[in-house]
Structure 1
């Protein structure tokens, strides 16, 4: 039996797409107002790279802008995301709280390992009161390399976890599991890609499936 279940946040627990377009549009409107952007908001390009750390997002979306502009854009986007979370514009995926309750009752420890920034993650955990089940939330900001595999390793070391599963929707989650000798569970949700999920040990279409597969298959 695993001691812990490590969840990704965006596209796994939190339906980021509900506030993504809104916050990104706010951000590029801000850039347009400063004459730093002159075309439509690159929402499709962002969806392609969804899940990477925010600093790398701006390198991709604003390749011809300065580091200073990237940093300013990063800060503004984060502000808009948090504001939209606090306004209730986002949503958890179905059954998150029910599954968390089930896992804790059955002796699992729950952790979150995300490429999201600390303030953003704290806003989600606080708004949806997830801290009643989650032992600790880890942000990629805690790892200099920005590699999720190292972030998961930090959880294992900090809490002396030897058996765990990583639940997420992208290849970085699968790699984080495999690099640490853990079971990977892919989530076939909004941002998932078939070729990435194919590398996971198992794939689910709803978080409630964890209640069935975890006691049987994760060892």
Structure 2
């Protein structure tokens, strides 16, 4: 039996909140310049839904926009996020590298994220996470856009039969339960108390994983 720990990225390993606001502001500044937005940047709305698939994000943030404009908005947003990541304006959560290093000794570690491939790769490259993580899986790699299916893909491709999913949102918790893995909720920036109640265990700091 091969055990694995499957991590979410945003709000679990990476402090997305540090780059979220400037990236969103920059994106909506572009929309304003093109007369596609005339209100404040909907930062609070995004914080409430972070972790959901990106098409849902932009449908929620810009319900009156066409699909084409939403897709372009997301492209701009991704570019701004990556610029900030590479400039090290973001950060991993406290003790993330230490915990990953320790866990990788006796466990196979993977990332399964709703983030896009280029965005995730920017984080992995900037913080050299390949030292600990065997493979990173983006939601872009599956057609359904569901985290449960993404975790199932991780398990099938790597012959995983047990372990845990570690994440901050309900999609992570349900992905664990749907695949008969332990659901570990992290009570970090974007976590919701009602969602965490469904996890098998809840931690307040990554160091608790040890």
Residue 131 of structure 2: aligned partner: 132
Count residues with an aligned counterpart.
210
Q: Which runs of 5+ in 2 are unaligned?
A: none
Q: Structure 1, residues 90-121: CA drift from partner, whole Å, max 9, x if none? A: 0000111101111112x100000000000000
Aligned to 1:122: 121
C-alpha offsets along residues 58-80 of structure 1, whole Å, 9 cap, x if unaligned? 10111111111011101000000
Q: Does 1:112 align with 2:111?
A: yes
- Structure 1, unaligned stretches of length 5 or more? 212-219
For 1:72 and 1:4, the matched residues in 2 are separated by 36
> Secondary structure in 2 aligned to 1:69?
helix
1:70-149 map, 5 Å: 70-105=70-105, 107-149=106-148
Following superposition, which runs of at least 4 residues in structure 1 exceed 2 angstroms of deviation?
none
2: CA distance, partners of 1:138 / 1:161: 15
TM-score, normalization: structure 1?
0.94
Deviations 1:122-176 (A, max 9, x none): 0000000000110000000011110000000001100101011000000000000
TM superposition shift of 1:2 = 6.5
Aligned residues of 1:59 and 1:70 also touching (Cα < 8 A): yes
| CA contact 2:186–2:204 (8 Å) conserved in 1 | yes
- The aligned residue for residue 42 of structure 1 is 42
Equivalent residue, structure 2, for 1:195: 194
Conserved? CA contact 2:142–2:150, under 8 Å: yes
**For the Cα contact (< 8 Å) 1:27–1:73, is it kept in 2?**
yes
